[in-house]
Amino acid sequence: MFNDLGLLAIGIDLGGSKILAAVVESQGKVLASDESATPVKRGRQAIIQSMLKSTRQALKQANMDISEICAIGVGVAGISNPDTGILFTSPNLPPLRNVPLRDMMQKKLGKKVFLINDANAAALGELYFGAARGARNFIYVTLSTGIGGGIVIDGKIYTGTIGAAGEIGHMTIDDEGPLCNCGNRGCWEALASGTALAKEAQQRIKRGAKTSILEYAGGDVGKVTAQVVHSAAKHGDSLAKELIAQTGYYVGVGLANLINIFNPELIVIGGGLSNIGDMLLEPAFKVAGGRAYKETFQAVRFASAELGRNSGVLGAAAFALQEMKGLCGK
Ligand SMILES: [Zn+2]
């Protein structure tokens, strides 16, 4: 994808719970990486220090100096204005709100830094190095504790007017549905994410439903997660199966909207919840097929994300190289 073979970038995936920094070669090889916990409670300086430490650690492991790096891409769980480099929304990283993250990192590392939303970074990772290689129009969907996405149009990530496009998890699916973290009601992620599945299971248990789900959570209803529901479903629990199918139904409603709006050739699905597989995705594809325009549905292909935990660092690094447009003094 990049003509300059051997060009190096650093990709950082800054999430609410972990920081992953990696030295990435322009053909998508991760040469070294370092993971640490995000010290959200210790404030913004501590978070930035952790990012710097992980970056230096990854460089050390790769036996490299920062001077050999072209640029740095940071995929961050939030939205930043590409012109100012200021993070203006970061629900899982409250201390970084309104912080000029790009300039602070640039000053500390002496290299160009580019910020990108974490889901957009993952989409770019799949586009350059994973399941979406060669695609022109595709949508990346991550089904996880929330739902995120990236929209690629004509081979380029679509970021919108202020860098906030692609928040597919917050399209309204049910106007009277459950309250979402964003303040709206009935968002896609309030109905079809791992958190939504866990919440629904917890509520049904509290209302006295007959199920073995609780056994897989050590008897503690607060410990019922999407993974726990999946374990119960695999062992034949009928409520667990019903709840996963219901989540799949809502996944499908959202997919139908995306298909009708964007007419993509490909939808790449990643994120921890998607590991449930057919039990979740079969009803999703069925519902999407029933709701989307027939021709647009026939034109779309579905694929699983290929890059796993490295999608964010690979995409952030690719974004940095893309933005440098080959202007790297080696
Ligand atoms: Zn929302």
68-117 confidence digits (pLDDT tens): 999 999 999 888 887 889 998 887 898 999 999 999 999 999 999 999 99
Q: 77 C-alpha to center of ligand 1: Å?
A: 15
Q: 182 C-alpha to center of ligand 1: Å?
A: 4
Average confidence (pLDDT) over 56-64: 97
Q: 189 C-alpha to center of ligand 1: Å?
A: 7
Q: 106 C-alpha to center of ligand 1: Å?
A: 32
Q: For tokens 């160009």, name the residue.
A: 112
79 in Cβ contact with 120 (< 8 Å) = no
What separation, in Å, do the N-terminal and C-terminal C-alpha atoms of the chain show? Answer: 19
Give CA–CA dist 16/39, Å, rounded.
9
Q: 297 C-alpha to center of ligand 1: Å?
A: 26
87 in Cβ contact with 76 (< 8 Å) = yes
| Beta-strand relationship, 156-157 and 266-270 | unpaired
Q: 320 C-alpha to center of ligand 1: Å?
A: 29
Q: 191 C-alpha to center of ligand 1: Å?
A: 10
pTM over 0.75: yes
Q: Which has the closest alpha carbon to 312: 271, 278, 257, 275?
A: 271
Q: Which has the closest alpha carbon to 76: 247, 312, 266?
A: 312
Q: 165 C-alpha to center of ligand 1: Å?
A: 14
Q: How many CA atoms lie within 13 A of 226 on its CB side?
A: 25
Q: 27 C-alpha to center of ligand 1: Å?
A: 36
pLDDT digit string (tens) for 146-199?
999 999 999 999 989 888 899 999 999 999 999 998 899 999 999 999 999 999
70 in Cβ contact with 60 (< 8 Å) = no
Q: How many CA atoms lie within 13 A of 19 on its CB side?
A: 25
Bridge partners of 157, per DSSP, are 152
Q: Which has the closest alpha carbon to 109: 145, 134, 74?
A: 74
